[in-house]
Each structure stands twice: as C-alpha cells, then as structure tokens.
Structure 1
C-alpha cells in the first residue's frame, strides 16, 4: 500500500488573509497613484515654466497657466521658490498631500523638487 502524502497548498483561511492584505495594499495604491501623477505634472509644468519665462513673475504666470490646463490643484505659482543662480533662474517647490484612508487614519505625502542641477531645493526667493 502507498502512503498518502499530506495535502499541500494554501488553506481557505490563508487565501482570505492574503486577499485581504492585497486588497488593503491595492486601496492605498489607488489613493496614492493620483497624487503621484499630479506630482509628475507639477514637475513637468515647472520645467516648462522655467524655459518660458525670464523673470520670477513670468515663470509663476506660466506655471499657473500649465497648472490650470493639467488640473494641478496642490500648488500655485505663488508657492514656487525662484532663485537666481549661475546657470540662470532655478525653480524649487515643496508641498504636502494628505490622503484619507479610513476612520482616523490618513497618509501624509511630502513632495518636493527643483530644476537646479545640484538637486538642492532653494530656500530663499529671488529679489
């Protein structure tokens, strides 16, 4: 007689637990993804504004136009930090995005960026 091996595989309880974890991760990803795409739009609009203007006012106005077209609501042209450097005008920005998860739980995402080659965001605006 041949002995029957123990059954292998995942139990129903384990399957439900794995699906619950995947569902929770999917829920968070579904709520974070739009904020990331907005961040990429902000990066693109800042790069475009930098090339479109030669003064801080022109750069801010150009950013506001791009923000309106791209549905950017987290940051405005007045929030941009524009500095003069050796290579010309550099634009930096930073903003927070709060994503409500459930009940009292929320997730705070901190986005920042710059057009500076050294990657360091400016702290003081241009005069």
Structure 2
C-alpha cells in the first residue's frame, strides 16, 4: 500500500497568507491618495516651470502653483514651500515634503517625497 499525502496549504496557513495579503492591500489602498497627490504636484511643477521660462516672476509662479493645487486637491504643499531657481536659463522648481499616512490605530506610515520640475 502506498500512502498518499495531500499537498497544499492548511487552513491555518491559508488564513495567515490571507491576513498578510489583506494587510498589504490595506497599505496600498491607504497610500494611493499620497501617491496621486505627488503625481499632481510633479505635473503642476512642470507647468509652472514653463511659465517661469516664459517670463513669470517668482511670486506669480507661487500663486499659479496655489491655484493649480486647489484644482488638483493638493493640500500638503503650497507655493511658499517651493524652491525656485534658474539653471542654465531654465526655471527649476523643487519641493521636499513628508506625508503621514495612517494605517491602523496608532500605526502610521511616513513617506518622504521629492518633486522637481527637472526632466527625469
């Protein structure tokens, strides 16, 4: 007689793997708004830098960022936070900021972002 062994995951290991995937999905779903805001900031910085290349002043660029940020629901960064400079005749706008994302209870995830108008 040959004994046949079943292969696969037991109920307990299935629950553990499921809990791990559920936690990973929770973190992904919680970080999506922060990543969307980062992408909006990145897009706005490129547009505002083009305005600077066309002769807009620093204060006009900051106001333009604030107006565009209101449209795209950017709340973490304002025009005051921008570092605006000229490099080789081109406007360079950079900003560094952190975003705290609550995960569960008193556990949070801190994400540091660095956005720039420079081409990648």
State the TM-score, normalizing by the size of structure 2: 0.90
Shift of 1:34: 1.0
Question: Are 2:91 and 1:89 equivalent residues in the alignment?
Answer: yes
Q: Deviations over 1:48-67 (max 9, x none)?
A: 11112322112111111110
Q: Distance in 1 between matches of 2:35 and 2:9?
A: 35
Single out whichever of 94-103 and 38-47 deviates more from structure 2.
94-103
Structure with the greater relative contact order (CA < 8 A, sep ≥ 6): 1 or 2?
2
What is the number of residues matched between the two proteins? Answer: 117
Q: Deviations over 1:8-37 (max 9, x none)?
A: 111100100000000000001100111001
Question: Are 2:68 and 1:66 equivalent residues in the alignment?
Answer: yes
8 Å contact 2:100–2:110 — kept in the other structure? yes
Partner of 1:36: 35
Single out whichever of 84-93 and 10-19 deviates more from structure 2.
84-93
Greater percentage in helix: 2
RMSD: 1.5
Partner of 1:22: 21
8 Å contact 2:85–2:93 — kept in the other structure? yes
State the TM-score, normalizing by the size of structure 1: 0.85
Give unpaired runs (5+ residues) of structure 1.
Answer: 120-127
